[in-house]
Chains A and B, each alone.
Chain A
């Protein structure tokens, strides 16, 4: 019987060999395309800043991003940039990716006031300083994040209200166009404005609606207000220039002469706002500069030197109206 084993074994070998050949021919040429992260390895000492921009759906944010890009280039730093398309989830992904890519600092423009705990925790665990830019979140500078850099939205509202009170001789029926619900700038701008109006008897807000900082929305909302409330108002306070410009088109379409029948004040200081002031349509705009990059990088460098960083760094903003718009046209973004 032992002799019988020989052909059997031979057959088995042959079969194994055959199947092996087939397997090799099928798999052998499979190439595993490696898709590594395209990480640019920076030379030592080069500063890497991750910038999570919430979106680019208005010129203010485009200007903010371009300013940061310019400043980073000027200072020889690497700016990792991503547009989160208005999604906190995407911002979390982006920031995680920045951490993996070895960012030294992370700059984040928060979309809303609440909901950034995960990102704060992420940066804390990675021991990477987080700078909140242009909008605030719940939490404290110096504790939850390094600092907040931006404008004083409350003060902007206050200044807009003061300008309007002065222009309208303390008597006005005001339509308010708010930004997006839940954002710190919209809330602060509303509260700052209200803090002044509330002290003046002749001034009241008749309608207050959200228009998401967008021009088309501003126009739509204003058209709706005119349809439902009529023309019984003589002032418009918009939380952004874009909404104000949209609203002006709606007023013009309803045969309301801007700046004459209705005084309009807004916040931001965009180039289109300057044009509108020059065109005699927008009354004034309170500056909220998107040019924060200089301060951002100064703060980072100070922090790197070990200097104490204040929990809030506020920009000094100006006010533009017909008296200085033409002259300061190029200051608009």
Chain B
């Protein structure tokens, strides 16, 4: 079986999807149900109507058979009646008055037979001897009947003869109504001689009345003879031409056929009547489903839509939003998570902002340190002193270094500078301090060629060198040495500032390092603290300063990332 999958256009909203899915599922099942019901009721109604038709046809046919059978039995009884046989066996009386008297008496006898039988129009006897009897009031027609076709046909047949419908009786005056006639020859019981014929008339209307009540206007009953002649039909015969259900019953004797046709519109109308409420019900269900589905899809999607619009607000940068929490479903869970997420982001944003502010303040402090008036005073004091001593070459160097120092320090407000620039800056600073402190210390700077273009925070080395001079050189009586070395480390860059001279006690080193790692508050050089803070704020907590001492020299190591 193939997987059935509904695909929607990409921009279909969730509400619409839910709506379409629920509607199509319900519609499909309702329609399937309606069709199934329609099919079942259609077949049931059809079968039922057909059964009704068959029953009615069979009943009507047996009613007709009954009438025809009674006619036949009585005809046989009359034909074999000894008195009638006796009258017919004798020649006609020579006296017409006697003949008429006998005829009137025989008429009377026949009329008594007829009087006890319903549905018969009349019995007539035509004797070979010329006598003529009748059972009803109709006035007789006197004629020589022996050459008439119907007479010859009856005489020639051993079996009873049923004549097709004809207008008016053969031998008496009638108003010309359609009649069917049973002909029977009268045979002398003792000699076998043919004495005459017996005619039995049945009005076609008698048979019509039976089938007229049949099935009303919704069908047609047609009684036809074995040769297809229509004796009578209950309705307009055009119904039979339709491709409607029909049922035929052949009568026992004569073998006429009674056929019932169902008007196709009857079946249609009956089916329509029973199916109409189903259609109505289906329509109501579908309408209800439409309403319910749209309200459900709205109810489901409304919080989602709210969430979406809140997200959009957040996206635009406003984190001061909260989703209202109602109920305890999946959407509520989502809303809770959303609220938590937004508040966390908000806190992070505040942190970030604070750190940024700290960095800015630290930078400002560095700058303040750099253009420290005390430093400037000292430098200018040195310049004055050198001028007095007429050491013009040194004055020239000093002023040049100062001017460069100032330029790089300001450096158009950039936070990051290349290592080359930073080293150049510290070199100028050392030149100034070297002149000031005369020959109290020597220095060496190494910067590998491949690291010159790498970036670092500006002004991180000046406080370190200042510290080295202050603690290593100022308090020493001997000439000290300061080295600045930039090295590649496995995951970044290391700058080491090493000075000989005054040794820091071991426990003080540990303490300082703990302070620098941020685990302990404490007091030590403001400049160093500031540098360490800036590096950690800018690059992360794994970077920063580290103190160590070895063989009488102190080293401050700076870890920065290679960028």
Contact = CB atoms under 8 A, between A and B. Distances in A.
A8 B294 contact: yes
Contacts of B23: 7, 11
A272 B16 contact: no
Given A11-B290, A15-B283, A59-B173, A249 B108 contact: yes
A56 interface: yes
A146 interface: no
Contacts, number: 118
B318 interface: no
B143 to A, nearest CB: 12
B139 A216 contact: no
A200 interface: no
B105 interface: yes
Given A4-B16, A19-B279, A276 B139 contact: no
Interface stretch (B70-78, B95-103, B542-550): B95-103
Contacts of B503: none
Interface string B31-42: 100000010000
Interface stretch (A60-68, A97-105, A177-185, A291-299): A60-68
B96 A252 contact: no
Interface stretch (B178-186, B263-271, B505-513, B515-523): B263-271
A173 B462 CA distance: 177
A178 B15 CA distance: 96
B174 interface: yes
Given A8-B19, A249-B108, A272-B104, A35 B236 contact: yes
Contacts of A15: 27, 283, 286
A54 to B, nearest CB: 13
B104 A248 contact: yes
B239 A30 contact: no
B137 interface: yes
B201 to A, nearest CB: 13
Given A8-B294, A279-B97, A280-B97, A30 B138 contact: no
Interface string A12-23: 101100110011
Contacts of B269: 30
B405 to A, nearest CB: 68
Contacts of A278: 96-97, 100
Contact of B268 (A3, A29, A83, A245): A29
A279 B268 contact: no
Nearest to A280: B97
B137 A57 contact: yes
B272 interface: yes
B210 interface: no
Nearest to A29: B268
Interface in A250-273: 252, 270-272
Contact of A33 (B96, B101, B236): B236
A219 B105 CA distance: 12
A4 B294 contact: yes
Interface string B107-133: 110011001000000000000000000
Interface string B17-36: 00110010001000100000
B101 A280 contact: yes
Contacts of A59: 137-139, 173
A27 interface: yes
Contact of B139 (A4, A56, A63): A63
B20 A7 contact: yes
B130 to A, nearest CB: 14
Given A15-B283, A272-B139, A333-B139, A30 B265 contact: yes
A326 interface: yes
A7 B101 contact: no
Contact of B100 (A11, A246, A249, A276): A276
A241 to B, nearest CB: 10
B360 to A, nearest CB: 50
B173 A23 contact: no
Interface in B41-80: none
A4 B268 CA distance: 40
A58 B238 contact: no
A146 B434 CA distance: 164
B104 A7 contact: no
A278 B269 CA distance: 67
B97 A31 contact: no
A276 B97 CA distance: 8
Interface in B394-412: none
A270 B137 CA distance: 10
Given A18-B31, A216-B111, A62 B104 contact: no
Given A35-B236, A215-B111, A279 B104 contact: yes
B13 interface: yes
A96 interface: no
Interface in B244-273: 263-265, 268-269, 271-272
Nearest to B269: A30
Contacts of B563: none
A275 interface: yes
Contacts of B282: 19
A216 B115 contact: yes
A57 B19 CA distance: 80
Contacts of A270: 139
Nearest to A27: B272
A216 B19 CA distance: 87
B137 to A, nearest CB: 5
Contacts of A279: 97-101, 104
Given A30-B268, A33-B238, A7 B139 contact: no
Nearest to A271: B139
A34 B275 CA distance: 26
A141 interface: no
A276 B103 CA distance: 9
Nearest to B98: A279
Nearest to B272: A26
A248 B105 CA distance: 9
A120 B100 CA distance: 44
Contact of B27 (A11, A56, A58): A11
A15 B284 CA distance: 11
A248 B103 CA distance: 13
Contacts of A150: none
A281 interface: yes
Given A11-B27, A252-B105, A281-B101, A332 B139 contact: yes
Given A8-B290, A245-B104, A3 B236 contact: no
A279 B108 CA distance: 15
A66 B141 CA distance: 14
23 contacts: A7-B16, A7-B23, A11-B290, A15-B283, A19-B279, A27-B272, A29-B264, A30-B265, A30-B268, A31-B265, A33-B238, A33-B239, A33-B265, A63-B139, A63-B173, A66-B175, A83-B175, A219-B108, A249-B105, A272-B107, A272-B139, A279-B97, A279-B101
Interface of B: 13, 15-16, 19-20, 23, 27, 31, 38, 96-101, 103-105, 107-108, 111-112, 115, 137-140, 173-176, 236, 238-239, 263-265, 268-269, 271-272, 275, 279, 282-283, 286, 290, 294
The 10 nearest A-B residue pairs measured at CB: A279-B101, A279-B100, A275-B100, A271-B139, A59-B139, A249-B108, A26-B272, A30-B265, A279-B97, A65-B175
Given A35-B236, A59-B173, A278-B97, 12 more contacts: A3-B13, A19-B279, A22-B275, A26-B271, A56-B174, A59-B139, A62-B139, A69-B176, A215-B111, A272-B137, A275-B100, A278-B100
